[in-house]
Amino acid sequence: MKQFEVPSFYRSSIISKVKAKRKLEDPRKKDFSPSELTIGDITFIIPRHFGFCYGVENAIEKSYKAIAENPHKRIYLLSQMIHNPDVNEDLQSHGLQFLQDTSGNQLIPFDSLTSDDIVIIPAFGTTLEIEELLRKSGVSIDTYNTTCPFVEKVWNRSEKLGELGHTLVIHGKHEHEETRATFSRSKKNAPSIVLRNIEETKILADAIEGNMSEEKFWSLFKNTTSEGFKFPEDLQKIGVVNQTTMLASDTQEITDFLRGVMIKKFGEHTLKDHMADTRDTLCYATNDNQSATYGLLETTADLAIVVGGYNSSNTSHLVELLEKKFTTFFINGSSEILSKNEIRFFDVHEQTNKLSTNFLPSKKQLKIIITSGASCPDVVVDKVIQTIVSCHHPDDNLTNLLEEIQE
């Protein structure tokens, strides 16, 4: 796989050793069991896969390339490059400005752009409508387009399904940049509807089976269907794709459930005429990270820490998996660890920041799971590890403890 030129300050001194060792032991990535790293009296349980993925490293490389190649031009990011505050803040420190926020709200008008300006499309991609607006302003959006190739794979799959007459069912969050970008393309080729979870899927199943009035259907799905969507005609032949960062198990559950609905309504012998036999469109990195997280669930630990941006979809799903078994804290970096007892963390269910005053258990030997999302630099995880070690060993020299790490 391609090696990207990512700024050295994103690289780590601790996690890099763990990953290098696992790469030598398991070059084909077949073993999803975690690694253990002991520092002082703390054993950190580290998953086989986590951190920067292909799409993220590609986006970062192109962004810093844009900075280096255009020292005297105005450079804009369409919106957050990736969902990580450290990466976005560093890019902003180089003078880059956001044209929109993550919800698509305008921060800088497109009509203020000129043909001399540089606009970087983020890894999530963007909608066809925004692409057209940018091109009309005279800006070139192709040179530094960092759209992840695995997102583009979903777009291509959607186009083919549309050509075959399928309605597109998109498993995703309709407000997320990636899903907005996918939806803008799928609706061009086919009727489209966005479903967030299995609960919404079961509601849609009632509509497919004829157990829902048209009025109720529109009251529930008006804001997540494409213009011109026909009820119930457009529910007779479907294909499922997804936002690449959703849980693979959730996408599979939705697909299997809808397949059962179609079999019940039309019979198994005609299933191919009513539902596309699509493979999961989850990107490899998200799939590997989630599989590695299931590996963590086979272990024992005192607590789990997930590091990443609070608006990162793939990271929040890691939290949801781990909290089923462990007390789990979702933090964006080491600054959230206030002391041995206090930690600020993000509650993914209530979407609020909270404070825990019982962070590290009062015991000498600790086992802590630590992982991060696909948009989090390993160096941020390093700093979290160092902070935890300092909290648990306040009277010891951190440098000496780190030097004791066995490579």
Enzyme catalytic residues? 178
Residue 394 C-alpha from the chain's centroid: 35
* Residue among 250, 249, 118, 100 nearest 180 (CA): 100
DSSP alpha helix (H) spans, 149-247: 149-163, 177-189, 198-208, 214-221
Determine the Cα–Cα distance for residues 16 and 309; give it in Å rounded to an integer. 21
* Residue among 311, 377, 308, 295 nearest 336 (CA): 308
Peptide bond into 232 cis (omega under 30): yes
Determine the Cα–Cα distance for residues 79 and 102; give it in Å rounded to an integer. 6
User: What letter does residue 109 receive in the DSSP assignment?
Assistant: -
Secondary structure, 3-state, 246-313: CCHHHHHHHHHHHHHHHHHHHCHHHHHHCECCCCCCCCHHHHHHHHHHHHHCCCCCCEEEEECCCCCH
Both structure tokens of 315: 């990271």
Contact 317, 374 (CB under 8 A): no
Overall residue count recorded for the chain in this entry = 407
User: What letter does residue 81 receive in the DSSP assignment?
Assistant: S
Q: Which residues contact 149 (CB under 8 A, 6 or more apart)?
A: 54, 55, 58
Contact 178, 151 (CB under 8 A): yes
Residue 314 C-alpha from the chain's centroid: 3
Task: Please name the helix (run of DSSP H) or strand (run of DSSP E) that holds residue 402, with its range, or none.
Answer: helix 398-403
Number of C-beta neighbours around residue 222 at 10 A: 9
Determine the Cα–Cα distance for residues 232 and 7; give it in Å rounded to an integer. 52
Provide φ and ψ at 197, rounded to 5°: -160, 180
